[in-house]
Amino acid sequence: MLTVLDAFVGQLGLGAVLALFALAAVTVPVLVVQYRRFGVVDRGRAAGAYLFAAYAAFVVALTLLPLPSPDDVVCVGRNLDPLAFVGAVRDDLADGRSLLSSPALFQLLYNVVMFVPGGVLLRRSFGWSLPRVLVAALLASAAIEAVQGSGILGLYDCAYRVLDVDDVLTNVSGALIGALLAPAVVLVPRPGHVAGRTGRSGPLRRATAASVDLLLVSIVGGSDPLLVGACLLLVFVAVPVLAGGATPGQHLVRAAVVQPDGRPAGRRALALRGVLISGPWFLVAVFAQWSGDRAAELPGLVVVAPLVVQAGLVAAVIGTATVRRDNRAPQDVLTGTELHVRERTGVRARRAGSGST
């Protein structure tokens, strides 16, 4: 039992690491979806999404990890007989084991408990109906068993974990228990009643848009300073000037650069604003390329300086927008502009329709 416990603790550690990566991967997409769907961030829905991402990471760790060395793989069979666990528990008892020390019963409860949080989250944080939760649990469990039974999709010559139909039954049972308990689990956030907002954009919306824009630049531009510079000009200058005063990231979060009175910003102001943003980033990219090519000759602080400068630029923009009452960043102040929230199309259409009657 100690060996099983040690393995379980090790899997939890792997799950924690995976959860951190999962949260990093979904942070911006969740915010973008919130802004697109609701115009604001619903804290209950967002928190539920982050909790579910972390939970899914733990499920992956508990069901598929750690991956063994190919030389250490021991091929196992499969169980396609429903309720075979009943006989396994009976055999454990016949061998003189107690219920508390029965490996078969431990495995049964393990599979039930593992899917309880999923049922709670889907029912409470996402508002899914009970049948929908059960179908999702069935599909997820079947997918896990298929991956296990195929030797991690052919990564190994044979399966090293048993494909067990009873696991699917117990997983779905756990999701059912979680869904039924969901109304009582008050610590899990519930979706709120959100209302779209207009006016000045807050720091979080601004940071989300900037994350999308800079990620786009880094993916397309890579490590080539000239290509990075071209991407910066495209994202922060050309697109806003030609497409309604918003970068790609700002379009996604329903924001646009305007004059303080809400009128569209002029092209000159948009171009200058874009240069003020892209110029420092381009200089940092050039310096990063130069220092990277000479990493063996330069002090370590010089090599990591570009990362420090990038962090400082982000902190300066977001920090200034946070502490100022008008939420304006340095580039807004210097160009006489502001970042405002755009109304959702449906809201704008309804307002226009009501005004015409």
Amino acid 344: pLDDT:
64
- The one-letter amino acid code at 191 reads P
Give the 3-state secondary structure of 79-131: ECCCCHHHHHHHHHHHCCCCHHHCHHHHHHHHHHHHHHHHHHHHHHCCCCCHH
3 state SS of 3 = helix
How many Å is the maximal CA-CA distance in the chain?
84
| Average pLDDT score, the chain | 88
**How many whole angstroms from its chain centre is CA 133?**
21
315 vs 203: CA distance, rounded Å: 11
Helix (H) / strand (E) element for 340: namely strand 338-341
Strand partners, 257: 339
Q: What is the pLDDT of residues 171-219, one digit of tens each?
A: 999 999 999 999 999 888 888 766 556 688 899 999 999 999 999 999 9
List the one residue out of 182, 332, 357 whose CA is nearest residue 269: 332
- Is the model's pLDDT at 341 over the cut of 90? yes
- The one-letter amino acid code at 237 reads V
240 vs 243: CA distance, rounded Å: 5
Amino acid 2: pLDDT:
44
Amino acid 103: pLDDT:
83
169 vs 164: CA distance, rounded Å: 9
- Is the model's pLDDT at 164 over the cut of 90? yes
* Burial profile 209-241: b = 16 or more Cβ within 10 angstroms, e = fewer: bbbbbbebbeeebeeebeebbbbbbbbbbebbb
- Is the model's pLDDT at 43 over the cut of 90? no
Helix (H) / strand (E) element for 78: namely strand 78-79
Helix (H) / strand (E) element for 339: namely strand 338-341
Amino acid 357: pLDDT:
44
Task: Name the percent of the chain lying above pLDDT 70.
Answer: 93
- Is the model's pLDDT at 58 over the cut of 70? yes
Q: CA end-to-end span of the chain, whole Å? A: 74
- Is the model's pLDDT at 336 over the cut of 80? yes
Q: What is the pLDDT of residues 228-271, one digit of tens each?
A: 999 999 999 999 999 889 999 999 999 999 999 989 999 999 99
249 vs 255: CA distance, rounded Å: 9
pTM of the predicted structure, to 2 decimals: 0.84
CB proximity list for 80: less than 8 A, separation 6 or greater: 163, 165
- Is the model's pLDDT at 142 over the cut of 50? yes
User: Of 22-26, 72-76, 231-235, where does mean pLDDT reach its minimum?
Assistant: 72-76
60 vs 101, residue with greater confidence: 60
Amino acid 197: pLDDT:
64
CB 260 within 8 A of CB 267: no
Parallel, antiparallel, or unpaired: how do β-strands 163-164 and 78-79 relate?
parallel
Instruction: Take residue 14 and report the two structure tokens written for it.
Output: 């792997």
Residue with tokens 């699917």: 168
User: Averaging pLDDT over each range in 10-19, 132-141, 279-288, 334-343, which range is the top one?
Assistant: 132-141
171 vs 137: CA distance, rounded Å: 7
